[in-house]
Structure 1
Amino acid sequence: MQRRNEEVKIHEVIVVEGKDDTTAVQRAVDADTIETGGSAIGEEVLRRIELAQTRRGVIVFTDPDAPGERIRKIVTERVPDCKHAFLTKNEARGRRGIGVEHATNEAIRRALESVRAPDGGEGAGEPAEIEWSDLLDAGLIVHASSASRRERMGELLGIGYANGKQFYKRCLVFRITRVEFLAALEQLEQEGR
């Protein structure tokens, strides 16, 4: 078993789904976690997340699958200023499924170093740089390969996979700039996707 990495200290409390996720995170970095116990998040857990946000800040770090996205949505609705860390499905793939617990220490560290904060700081109130039509023009919606294109764009932008509506919302929430969007789109096109 690998030792916990004491060199990388995360100040914020990391919200994960379960014990195996806590073990994986603490193997990769020095951090405290709150476990949701799956997608049936109780009121007590949500209150602990609210308290952690006011005291230290929170990073939501759930599995890149439907239950993980459901948890992310529940936490974000209750505690909207949380930061978010994302793994790609490939980084989280294990023999028994997809989850944070299957990710390598390096993938976990990369995800936590690439944390995204929601809008609300400087620049709040400015018009969005990405429009719905940009997603349409980029083949991220209403396109034969839109799901796979969104998955790769989510990886490149560091905002994870989402359906078209949620992907657009994430572009707005995380203030994806036109420059970031176009650079990721160029990479996607170079990969032939």
Structure 2
Amino acid sequence: MKQKPRIDAVIVVEGRDDTIRLRTFFDVDTIETNGSALTNATIETIRQVQKERRVIVLTDPDYAGEKIRTKLSQALPEIEHAFVLRDDAHDHRGKIGVEAASAAALQHALGHVQTAQAAVETFSWQAMIDFGLVGNKQRRRFVAERLHLGEVNAKQCFKRLNMFGVSEDAVADVLKEWNE
């Protein structure tokens, strides 16, 4: 029997089905938030685990997943983030989320982990406009996929570019690919 790859970090997921899906492909430890019912006790558990191990948030690419991610980011600014894309996280029944993601999509997400930077603006709103990231969903999605920002609207894109310390030059380099 082939041994599953070990993930040394603890992965924060929304629920039991997400844990089951990850354990199908990986030897991994998880903490479940019980969906959007994320409690202060769970946040404290994550805080304690973070003292000993890396902790990566991997929530569904939907409103509830984003809400959980935001709450965790506010409470634990050093937490790491992995994003599975909506297109890569659905099954034949129409279910969208980590529990429906393929092994390749999960491996890709966990291979491109982002860590929040100090609160310094590296990317301006004017640059968002200048680069055509406001009002052009396809262009914004292209940038978000290349920079591993997850599913984002314009406001989320702006916040994540700054949260992860992405420079305007880095976005300009990505957009060179768009123009090819």
Q: TM-score, normalised by structure 1?
A: 0.84
| Unmatched runs of 5 consecutive residues or more in structure 2 | none
1:137 aligns with 2:137: no
SS of residue paired to 1:10: strand
Report if the CA contact (8 A) 1:4-1:27 is conserved.
Answer: no
CA distance in structure 2 between the partners assigned to 1:15 and 1:133 by the alignment: 34
**Contact kept? 2:6, 2:27, Cα under 8 Å:** yes
Q: Which residue of 1 aligns with 2:171?
A: 181
* SS class of match (2:146): helix
Contact kept, 8 Å, 1:150 with 1:161, in 2: the verdict is no
Pick from 155, 158, 166 the counterpart of residue 168 of structure 1: 158
Rounded Cα–Cα distance in structure 2 between residues aligned with 1:157 and 1:79:
22
- Kindly provide the CA deviation profile for residues 68-116 of structure 1, in whole angstroms up to 9, marking residues without a partner as x: 1001001111111000001111111222321011111111111101101
- Residue in 2 that maps onto 1:26: 23
Deviations 1:137-192 (A, max 9, x none): 12211x2xx234323321121011222222111111111133431232223344xx
Residue equivalent to 1:159: 149
In structure 2, distance between residues paired with 1:13 and 1:4: 22
Superimposed CA distance per residue, residues 10-37 of structure 1 (whole angstroms, 9 cap, x where no aligned partner): 2221000111111111222221000111
2:140 to 140, 144, 150: 150
**Aligned-residue CA RMSD (Å):** 2.0
Q: Secondary structure at the match of 1:139?
A: coil
**Partner of 2:12: helix, strand, or coil?**
strand
Moved over 4 A (4+): none
Percent of paired sites with the same residue: 36
Unpaired runs of 5+ in structure 1? none
Structure 1 residue 5 displacement after superposition: 5.0
Give the match for residue 84 of structure 1: 81
Task: Indicate how the Cα distance of structure 1 residues 99 and 4 shifts in structure 2: closer, same or farther if over 3 A, else same.
Answer: farther
Instruction: Please report the TM-score for the alignment, with normalisation by the length of structure 2.
Output: 0.90
Distance, in Å, in 2 between the alignment partners of 1:167 and 1:62 is 17
Maintained 8 Å contact 2:6/2:26: yes
